[in-house]
Structure 1
Amino acid sequence: MGCGSSHSYQAEVLQTWDEVKKTVQSRPHKGKLVVRRSGWKTVRIFVSSTFRDFHAERETLVKEVFPDLRVWCEKRRLYLVDCDLRWGVPKDTTTEETLRTCLGEIDRCYSDNIMPFFLNLTSPETHTLLRFVCERCGWIPNRNEVPQSVIEEYRWVMGLSVTEMEVIHGAYRVDNPNSLFMMRNAKFLDSVPEEHHPVFVDPNPIAADKLKMLKDMLKNKFPSDQVGYYTCEFEHIDPDDGRVYLKGLDKSFRDQIFNFFKKRISQQYPLEEVTTDPYKHAQESHESFMKSRSTMVLGRNEILQKISDYITALL
């Protein structure tokens, strides 16, 4: 499976990033971001990565990192929402709907938190034992697939993958201090059975140069505490769905992410001692519980609409 670099691909990638630099804010955010508040506040964390090859990491986030972080947030009167679009983009949506869903969710993070709490997972290092192998860079839409309205609204840079564009929109253009980039050591492929390498290997020959450039640009743009590295190994194959599971994510991966966002959230939303009426406090707790259970409801749109119409008619 060829994934070797060439000068033509390097030149193409360099040209793309020259266009990216033209869209960077001339006055990015500097200094500490502190928000004074009363009552509960929503904190959104947007997870950006290709999907199939980072299934194990996303499962760790959903089952371990975010539940612990959610409990910690609730003690500070903060409501945590993790934005994992694996379940939020139906397969039958149009290209425009897909692009707007991805970037629009980041817009919601801007709206709620001024600067998005943004997590990107990538694996930019070329595998060392198998020649001409690199990992996935994601879907790269062509000019005909990106509507002009999306290009103008989001300053879309042609040649970028959707995942790269999420990085640009959510972090790179604004020097986002709430962004964390976790880079997986590609040597884990040594432990993955060869028949499952296609899950992780990108057949697109430009992928190697794109991932190398992305890694270099992030390292040069952001301080070291915003660029983390982790290692992992093959664990097993799920017999039901064929997904690859990895081990070794408990410390180098899980703890780095938890500690980073705990620090950033506490700095942006410092804990304030407030005297709250016990009935008001109970009401807020119920509202937080309701939000935590209703945000991830998917499907059953007709039933939900009937309920909404019925309640509205009573008002």
Structure 2
Amino acid sequence: MSHPTKSHQRFPFRATVHIRKNFRKLPPITQPIRPLEKDSRAPSSSLSATNIDLKYESSSPIGVDDFWNKLHQHIANQTSEHNDDHGNQNAPNKVVRIFVSSTFTDFFNEREVFPALRDEMEPAGLQIIDCDLRWGVPKDSTTEQTILTCLEELDRCFDDNGQPFFIGLVSDKYGWVPRLDELPTNITKRYHWIEGASITLMEFIHGALRTQNPNALFLIRNSENILKSIPDKYTDRFQDKDEYNQNQIQELRNQLHRIVAPEQIVHYDCLYDGLDSSSGRERVKIDGLNDFEEQTKKFLIEAIKKWYPSNFNNTNRSDPEQQQINTFLLNKTQIFVDRPKEFASLLKYITGDHKDFSLIDGEPSNKKNAQPLMALTGRSGDGKTMLLGKFVLTIEETQQSKFLLFYYFFDGAFHAQASHFMLTSLKQKLDKYLADNNIISPRTNERLKITDDSFLPDAIELLSIPLFIVVDGLDKVNMHADLIY
């Protein structure tokens, strides 16, 4: 490797950052039909829930039996496109999206089960993201925007994980049912089963029922104790009064046992525990959820381990330092920077197509396969780390057979001797590659010893594919005085 002070290319970084949200912002299609009576308990902030229970002037919805017959026909006609698909993530570091679906006003307590799950999964190189859209849709969204936001977020789960990790919470509320005349044609054509479905049931169907998703868990609350105990003024937060909705929620409970495997359904009990005003809005407190939490955690851990077994194979696990960096990168790149020009320049550099780059210091090397260093510079906060993080994760997924990729992000490594750990990790990466490919030294006819002083240059010399090294945050670390790294 050339000395960094003698030969490198500088890559200026001054472009404006454009942030993309997790879902596409849809333009208004039709003027939204205003509800005659909006639930007064809906959040007053500019962001409101996707599963807010609203009351609309009733139209004649499809009959309950007709609805479920139509849905069963749809399920029977579905292909098995997702059954063996584990998503588009080929790298060891993966995002596991857990989509949580329920009606809005009655499941605040049950949704808080994920911190312990994150702690359990991170050492395996998996980042847990709970997709909870209660606060994710702008208040003035049209019906189409609301529906598509929910279903397209589920589509993102399909893209990443093949079959979403899905939690469906069922009680005595069916939720908001959009009127048929509110549903644009493109929605009804795309989702044939949508008429008569509440927003919550749409999520159930799209994320689990239509594909017979093995990663879905439905938790059905036994609400008798709560309904007997809560003050009368809060009853409508936990139980529908509309006859159609009551019939649908009862039939939903029956149909879940018909469609879903028994091991994917849990009935649980809980207790009324008074009222809580600590958040500024009085809410009903529910207690006795220990069994709910344990059952949910147990199912998800087993499902994730079964879905991604290689992440739990000790021989495939990276060292703790690298796992720490992997977790940092997954978190860092969730909201990503759209920089096609800079991304393309990085790709050109690693493929050797950098003749149009200007060498700002030193002389071109005559060594075989040598190329100067590229320096990515910019002001603090410009998004350098995010760009490099997204780049290495993309390369790791799409071109891992073409390069031996090593990356080290000092912001993700919390050690005083981070430079030492970086070199150690690089040696371990090279040693594993040589061992996996049965590469030995032609001079000794033996494997190189990682403890030898010459291991690093000798190992690089034996590689059959280019070694691509990305180091982020060199300016934040006290490297060796002579800058040999």
For Structure 1 versus Structure 2, the TM-score category normalised by the shorter chain is: 0.7 to 0.9
Structure 2 letter corresponding to 1:245: K
Give the whole-Å Cα distance in 1 for the aligned partners of 2:323 and 2:62: 59
Aligned partner of 1:186 among 202, 208, 223: 223
SS at match of 1:22: helix
The equivalent of 1:173 in structure 2 is 210
Whichever residue aligns with residue 66 of structure 1, its letter is: F
Highest CA radius of gyration, 1 or 2?
2
Q: 1:106 aligns with which of 131, 154, 170?
A: 154
Structure 1 residues 1-315: aligned runs within 5 Å: 12-24=63-75, 25-28=77-80, 37-58=90-111, 61=112, 65-123=113-171, 135-187=172-224, 188-239=226-277, 240-251=280-291, 253-270=292-309, 271-272=312-313, 273-274=315-316, 276=318, 281=323, 283-291=325-333
TM-score of the two chains, using structure 1 as the length reference: 0.79
Secondary structure of the residue aligned to 1:86 is helix
> Sequence identity, in percent?
36
| Counterparts in 2 of 1:178 and 1:311: CA distance versus 1, 3 Å | closer
Relative contact order higher in (CA < 8 Å, ≥ 6 apart):
1
Q: Distance in 2 between matches of 1:279 and 1:229?
A: 41
What 5-or-longer segments of structure 1 have no aligned partner?
1-8, 124-134, 296-306
In the alignment, residue 226 of structure 1 is paired with which amino acid?
Answer: Q
- Structure 1 CA distance for aligned equivalents of residues 61 and 139 of structure 2: 33
1:4 counterpart residue number: none
- Cα separation, 1, equivalents of 2:96 and 2:217: 15
- Structure 2 CA distance, aligned partners of 1:165 and 1:278? 41
Change (3 A) 1:236 1:277: closer
Aligned partners of 2:156 and 2:82: how far apart in 1?
21
* One-letter code aligned to 2:299: F
- Matches of 1:281 and 1:53 in 2, distance apart? 38
Distance in 1 (CA, whole Å) between partners of 2:193 and 2:90 is 34
Q: Give the gaps of 5 or more residues in structure 2.
A: 1-59, 337-378, 388-485
Task: Give 1:277 deviation, angstroms.
Answer: 7.5
Give the total of aligned pairs. Answer: 276
Q: Bigger shift: 182-191 or 258-267?
A: 182-191
Alpha-carbon contact 1:47-1:118 (below 8 Å) kept: yes
TM-score in terms of structure 2 length = 0.52
1:63-87 residue CA offsets vs partner (Å, 9 max, x unmatched): xx21111111111110111000111
Matched position secondary structure for 2:138: coil
Higher helix share: 1
CA contact (8 A) 1:29 1:175 kept: no
Report SS of the residue matched to 1:174. coil
Separation (CA, whole Å) in 1 of partners of 2:329 and 2:382 = 21
**Alpha-carbon shift at residue 267 of structure 1 (Å):** 0.3
